[in-house]
Amino acid sequence: MSTEIRVPTLGESVTEATVATWFKKLGDHVAVDEMLCELETDKVTVEVPSPVAGTISEIVAPEGSTVSVEALLAQISEGAAAPEPAAVSRKTPEAESVTVMVPTLGESVSEATVATWYKQPGDSVTQDEILCELETDKVSVEVPAPAAGILGKTLAPEGSTVQAGGQLAVISSAVLQAPTSGTADAAPSGRKDLEDAPSAKKLMAETGLDRSKVTATGKDGRVMKEDVQTVLAAKPATLAIAMTPASPPRAAVPVEDAAREERVKMTRLRQTIARRLKDSQNTAAMLTTYNEVDMTEVMALRNEYKDLFLKKHGVKLGFMSFFTVACCHALREIPEVNSEIDGTDIVYKNFVHMGIAAGTPTGLVVPVIRDADAMSFAEIEKAIAEKSTRARDGKLSMTEMQGGTFTISNGGVYGSLMSSPILNPPQSGILGMHKIQDRPMAINGQVVIRPMMYLALSYDHRVVDGKGAVIFLVRVKEALEDPRRLLMDL
C-alpha cells in the first residue's frame, strides 16, 4: 500500500513554497511523524512529517522546486523497508530505470520552467528523442532521452520550475532495448521513420517552412530547432507566420476578431519581470514624489568638455554619470533611501550598487554598477556603456543584475515627460528621469526659456518618510543645477 505525501496548508494567503531540504532520500525507511522535508515560504518554514511508517518509494519534488498547496511531494510504501534501488538493478538488470535530469542551463542560470512535454507517461521513446523543452530567461533547452525505453512518471509537469541537475522523469530503459538495438543495426543513417525534434516541427508549422528547405544536423538526420531558426534568420522576408488559432475563440470575443488575434506564450524573462513588479506593488508601501530640474548648467558643462572627455577616456560624456554621482551624494545624506527591509530589520547599505534600467528587445533588465559611489565620471560612463551593450546582446549574467541598492530609470530616452517608476525589490528607492523639454520659467522676475526635466522618486514609505524622500530629490536637483557642488562634495 502506498501513501501520498502532499504539501500541507501553508498559512493565510500563502499558496506556494520552495522545497528547501529533504531529510530523507529515496529508499530510506521512515517512522510515523518523522520529518521528511522542510518547505520555505516568504513568511514561514514548514516541516512535513511522515503520516505512516514505511519506505520512501518516490520523491516527486526535488530540493529547490516550487510547489503549491496540496501538490504531491513523495510516495511512501507502507511496511518493511524495500531493498535499495542499486541492489535491485544489480540483481535484475532487465528492469533498469534511467532518470532524466535537467541539463546544464548555461552560465549563472540555475533554474528553468518546463515549457512543453512532447511525450507522455507510457509512450515509447528512442535514445536522443526530444522529451521536453525547458525555458530560462535567456534560452530554450531541449531535453533528449538518455536511453530507449518506456517513459515512466514525469516528475515535473508543464509550468513547473526545476533546478539545474534536478529530476524530470524516469525511463524504463530495458523494455525496448532488444528490439531497439536490432532496428538500429539494420536501419541506415538518416532513415525516414525517425521524427524531427517536436520543437522544430512546431516552428516549421507556424512559419510555413518546407522541411526540404532545412538542413538537418541532428542525430540520424533529425531536424533540430536550431536548424529551423538558421533558415528563418536567413530568409525573414519570405516567410509568412500562420495565424490559425490554437484553440476555439473565447466566448466574449467575436469570431472575426479572434481570427486576427495572435496568442504568444510569455517568455521566462517577461514572466520574471511581471512577477517581480507585481510583488513590488503588493509588498511595498510605494509612494512617488516629484520635482523638476533645470538642466542648463549640466548641458553647458557637457558641451564644453565632451570632446576632451572622449579624447582622454575613449567614451562619450552623457547625462547618466551626472545623475549617478548626484544620487550617490544624496544617498549618503539620506541613507534610508539606500536601505532595504529584511523581516523586522532595516539593512542600511554603506555602499552604492547602482542599477541602471535598460530596455532590450526581450524586455527590461537592470544591470548593476557595483560601488558606483567610489567611481569617477569616466569610470561610470565606461561601465554604463559596457553594461548597455551586453544587455542589448543578451549577454548579461545573473550576477551582473543582482545586488543593486538603488536604481535609475531613464524613460526620457523614449520621450516620456512624466511617469511613476515601480520599485525594484528589495530596494527602497528608484529615480525616474524624463525628457528634457524647453519650458518658460520665471527666473528673477523674468520669464525665460530653460531646458527642464521632471524627476520622480518612488520610495518605500515603510522605511523612507516623506521628508527624507523630498530632501533626497532636492539634493539631486541642487547638484544638477550647480554641478560644482559635486566637485566640492556638497
Taking the C-alpha atoms of residue 148 and residue 129, their distance in angstroms, rounded to an integer, is: 9
Instruction: Select from 266, 432, 277, 430 the least CA-distant residue to 362.
Output: 266
Known catalytic membership, residue 28: no
Q: Copy the grid coordinates of residue 223.
A: 531536424
Grid coordinates given for 327: 544620487
- Picking from 138, 17, 121, 132, the residue whose alpha carbon sits closest to that of residue 67 is 17
Beta bridge partners of 141: 134
Peptide bond into 335 cis (omega under 30): no
Is 42 part of the annotated catalytic residue set? no
Burial class (CB in 10 A: 0-12, 13-18, 19+), 42: exposed
Cell of residue 24, nine digits: 530523507
CA 312 remoteness from chain centre = 38
List of residues 6+ apart from 220 with CB closer than 8 A: 187, 189, 190, 191, 194
Collapsing DSSP to helix, strand or coil, 318 comes out as coil
Q: What is the CA radius of gyration of the chain?
A: 29
Please tell me whether the peptide bond between 198 and the residue prior to it is cis, using omega within 30 degrees of 0.
Answer: no
Query: What is the C-alpha to C-alpha distance for residues 179 and 238, in angstroms, rounded to an integer?
Result: 44
Amino acid, res. 310:
L
The C-alpha cell that represents 32 in the structure block: 510515523
Q: Which member of 33, 294, 461, 482 is catalytic? A: 461
The residue annotated as part of the active site, out of 42, 307, 371, 465, is 465
81: its cell numbers: 523497508
Rounded Cα–Cα distance for residues 157 and 135 (Å): 13
DSSP characters over 76-126: EEESSPPPPHHHHHHH-GGG-EEEEEPPP--TT--EEEEEEESS-TT-EE-
Contacts with 313 (C-beta within 8 Å, 6 or more apart), sequence order: 378, 381, 382
Residue linked to cell 559611489? 373
- 139, 165 in Cβ contact below 8 A? no
Please identify every residue annotated as catalytic.
461, 465
